[in-house]
Amino acid sequence: MTQLKIGFPRTLFYFLYYPFWYTFFHELDCELITSQPTTQHSLNLGVAETVNDACLPIKLYHGHVAELKDQVDIMFMPRMVKVRKMETEVFCPKFLGLPDMVRNSISGLPRIIDEKIDLSKGRKPLWHTCKKIAKKIDKSGVGVWLAYKKAQRCQDKFHKYLALGMGAQEAIDVAVSGRNFQEPKKYETDINLAILGYPYLIYDSFVNVGMFERLSQMGIKPWTVEMVPSDRLEAQAKYLPKSLFWHFSNRTMRATYYYLHEQRVDGIIHVTAFGCGPDAMVDKLMELDAKNTGKMPFLTLSLDEQTGEAGIYTRIEAFVDMLRYRRGHHENIISHHG
Amino acid sequence: MKISFPIMGNSYLAFKQLVKDLGHEPIVAPLPTARTMSLGTMYSPEFACIPFKILLGTYLEAIEMGAEVIVSSGGHGPCRAGYYGILQQKIIEDLGYDTKIIIFDSFAKTYKEFISKLSWLIKTGNKSWWQLYQAFKPTWAKLKALDEIELLSHDIRPFEINTGETTRVYRKCLELMDEPVTKPQILEAKEVCLKLLKDIPQDQSRVPLKIGIIGEIYVLIEPFANLDIQATLGEMGVYTERAMNLFHWLTENTKVSHQEKKIIKAAQPYLREKIGGHGINSIGETIIYAERGFNGVIQIAPFSCIPEIVAKGILPQVSQDHGIPVMTIFLDEMMGKAGMQTRLEAFVDLLQQKRDYKLA
């Protein structure tokens, strides 16, 4: 019997949850096929298929699905609703309706599994979800339990690598293949910048035009949301009178407070997608709090379909120049030129 | 204490009374104008939705008039509206004002805070809970009456013989409804208004096109935000029905109505998850309008509204399956009345042709 081919778009949740699903399906004797890393082609496909008002990540997701649809028997698009026990925290509404958007926009789709991931209720909710998914591909019994356990271990390993500052793609490769971790090339760094934003922007080097590589070359040590110890991340909730409603936004906001209060960095860059709804709120909160907590330098980089390297780098360079200038001169010296 | 509140449709007439009855001085911000919009836009995040910008503008105008406290409603997401208050408070503080925004979230989820906020309002106004209860009844009656009057005006407008007369009479009705204080007075004023509207000369032989208006609740209710879409269509001789009115907004946190259940059920084949705001309603309502034989549906929503974008992505399929034309209009601070008018005329022309073709 040939292996069942299951498709998993290489975007959005890929960067945080792929190791789990890869191991789970692999152990169940299925093949989990991902699309290629984002290219101009996937972006063009996405722009063509998606409702025009959607944000960049949603368009990319459509693009990846369109690229993948003819290569697989089943498209696996979990409906991400809640990933922890918090009453008001869900994913962005666009994620909640994503399988429906895709189903109603792209024609010629294979069979879809869009099981709801809601981990807010009951005991072992993830296990129950996995059981349901396994049932849909005619798998049951103890094998599913073993696959589930193994998938969890792989996912834990992956998070550990992320916390070490590894890029998501690399961490996925290491966690999934089990190959040894190689020390990345070391660069001299003199500036610490928190690069905060959602994983699907931060870790997709097509979307962010290879920002991280470039930052290292410029002598900047980037710090991400995933590098904040998870207990410290949760502890920052106290700075907001009311938690945000969106999982990734809460993580980003809390990481902002961590880098403002506990591990001061030289500056914060918020990476956001053009048209991102939650970020309209998050960005303003970050801006105000950066200003009011010891005047932290703050830059917003908005990425869209037209983003080019030159534009992004020019802005980052200017920002870093300012930081170095500020460090060289004492802040309260009035400029000699003006 | 000087208390202000958001402007949403006609509700300010009722809230003004409530604040007064609670022993405070109501500050009614001017109805939104271009100035409100530019004030709000200046200090809001660029991609915040239009209700956020208009509300912030309204708050700033209320602060200019001396408001010390602003009372508004909250929410629990995932629509952004539930977070407005917190961010607006931060923005207002950053501008150097010390006005406080008091947000009432859902009673069921935050009843302790809800009660403590309410008791603070009562205490500072030197009133009792009993007096609050007493004040609440006429407010409720007034909101209901205002809704009824507005709905009737939309029913009559497509039949009016002298274009614009309904709008004129309706403005007069709002003035009449401003005065009454007690419940019997309110009911009496309502009857007068309903009669005034019914007395408008009408041509009942017309068979107007029927259009359902769906979308995000704030822009549905606030005529400034939707560029008075219902009156514009009405004066073009189109009968319109709006999916939501003030009463919806006031009661939706307390109970799920039978109608609501029906709407959500209708949407199931297309959207299986509640996505916040009224995204799922937009899908279900479109189907129900199609079943009721409406000629078309117009979806209006703020630019960048997340739930309505999801709905917009799904609506073309609904439109195709149910044979009902759907037009989406996203509203932002750049929208002009002429642009809206042109789009509406084109849409109505198409619906007219479609109907003529069917009849022939």
CB atoms within 10 A of CB A232: 15
Query: How far apart, in whole angstroms, are the C-alpha atoms of residue B273 and residue A77?
Result: 14
Q: Return the C-alpha torsion angle A158, A160, A165, A167, nearest 10.
A: 0
Among B138, B118, B119, smallest CA distance to B17 is for B138
**Cα B253 from chain centroid?**
16
pLDDT tens digit sequence for A180-236: 767 667 778 888 999 999 999 999 889 888 888 888 888 899 999 999 998 899 999
Residues on chain A bordering chain B, Cβ-to-Cβ distance under 8 angstroms: 50-51, 53-54, 79, 81, 87-88, 90-94, 96-97, 99-101, 104-105, 116, 240-242, 244-246, 275-281, 283-285, 288, 291-292
3-class secondary structure, A299: strand
Query: How far apart, in whole angstroms, are the C-alpha atoms of residue B360 and residue A67?
Result: 46
Interface test with A, best of B44, B306, B321 (most A CBs within 10 A): B306
| Residue A1 confidence (pLDDT) | 58
B18 with B135: CB under 8 angstroms?
yes
**Cα A172 from chain centroid?**
13
Nearest-5° angle of CA A246, CA A97, CA B106? 50
| Residue range A161-182: mean pLDDT, rounded | 82
Contact A92 B90 (CB under 8 A): no
> 3-class secondary structure for B244-301?
CCHHHHHHCCCCCCHHHHHHHHHHCCCCCCCCCCCHHHHHHHHHHHHHCCCCEEEEEE
Contacts of B113 in chain A (CB under 8 A): none
Query: Which stretches does DSSP call E strand in chain B?
Result: 2-4, 25-27, 69-73, 100-104, 209-215, 238-242, 296-302, 326-331
| Single-letter amino acid code for the residue at A165 | G
Whether the predicted pLDDT of B191 surpasses 70: yes
Contact B306 A105 (CB under 8 A): no
B52 with B42: CB under 8 angstroms?
no
Among B83, B76, B84, B282, smallest CA distance to A97 is for B282
pLDDT tens digit sequence for B81-102: 888 999 999 999 999 999 999 9
Whether the predicted pLDDT of A337 surpasses 60: no
Between residues B255 and B156, the one the model is more confident about: B156
Query: How far apart, in whole angstroms, are the C-alpha atoms of residue A111 and residue A197?
Result: 33
Query: How far, CA to CA in Å, does B256 sit from each of B260, B264, B270, B285?
Result: 6, 11, 21, 15
What's the CATH class of domain B207-360?
alpha beta
Q: Which residue of A has its CA nearest to B318?
A: A104
Whether the predicted pLDDT of B237 surpasses 90: yes
Contact A93 B312 (CB under 8 A): no
pLDDT tens digit sequence for B342-355: 999 999 999 999 99
Does B275 lie at the interface with A, CB-CB under 8 angstroms?
A: yes
Contact A245 B310 (CB under 8 A): no
Q: Tell me the shortest Cα–Cα distance from B343 to chain A, in angstroms.
A: 18
Query: How far apart, in whole angstroms, are the C-alpha atoms of residue B215 and residue B225?
Result: 12
Contacts of A242 in chain B (CB under 8 A): 83, 86
Q: Tell me the shortest Cα–Cα distance from A249 to chain B, in angstroms.
A: 11
Query: How far apart, in whole angstroms, are the C-alpha atoms of residue B328 and residue B216?
Result: 11
Among B296, B300, B306, smallest CA distance to B330 is for B300
Q: Which residue of B has its CA nearest to A287?
A: B45
Among B99, B4, B88, smallest CA distance to B48 is for B88
Partner residues linked to B301 by β-bridges: B330
The listed range with the strongest mean pLDDT (A157-166, A319-328, B313-322) is: B313-322
Token couple for A179? 């190959």
Token couple for B356? 């003529």
Among A31, A49, A41, smallest CA distance to A102 is for A49
| Residue range B30-39: mean pLDDT, rounded | 92
Contact B76 A280 (CB under 8 A): no
| Residue B253 confidence (pLDDT) | 56
Does B47 lie at the interface with A, CB-CB under 8 angstroms?
A: yes
| Residue B254 confidence (pLDDT) | 59
Residue B133 burial (C-beta neighbours within 10 Å; 0-12, 13-18, 19+): exposed
Whether the predicted pLDDT of A338 surpasses 50: no
Q: Which helix (H) or strand (E) holds B174?
A: helix B165-178
pLDDT tens digit sequence for B49-84: 899 999 999 999 999 999 999 999 888 878 888 889
Does B43 lie at the interface with A, CB-CB under 8 angstroms?
A: no
Partner residues linked to B238 by β-bridges: B209
Q: Which residue of A has its CA nearest to B276?
A: A93
Could you write out the DSSP letters of every residue in A88-111? Answer: T-B--HHHHTHHHHHHHH-SS--E
Query: How far apart, in whole angstroms, are the C-alpha atoms of residue A33 and residue B20?
Result: 65
Angle (deg, nearest 10), helices B183-198 and B165-178: 170
pTM over 0.80: yes
Does B300 lie at the interface with A, CB-CB under 8 angstroms?
A: no
**Cα B273 from chain centroid?**
24
Domains delineated in chain A: 4-177 (no CATH), 191-328 (3.40.50.11900)
Contacts of B305 in chain A (CB under 8 A): 277
Nearest-5° angle of CA B77, CA A132, CA A118? 15
> 3-class secondary structure for B71-95?
EEECCCCCCHHHHHHHHHHHHHHHC
| Residue range A259-286: mean pLDDT, rounded | 92
Nearest-by-Cβ selection for B78 from A93, A101, A291:
A93
Confidence of residue B327 (pLDDT cuts 50, 70, 90): very high
CATH of region B2-127: 3.40.50
Token couple for A27? 């152990």
Q: Tell me the shortest Cα–Cα distance from A110 to chain B, in angstroms.
A: 17
Query: How far apart, in whole angstroms, are the C-alpha atoms of residue B193 and residue A108?
Result: 56
Whether the predicted pLDDT of A59 surpasses 90: yes
Please state whether the peptide bond connecting residue B78 to the residue before it is cis, i.e. omega within 30 degrees of 0: yes
| Residue range B236-262: mean pLDDT, rounded | 79
Among A210, A275, A213, A172, smallest CA distance to A38 is for A210
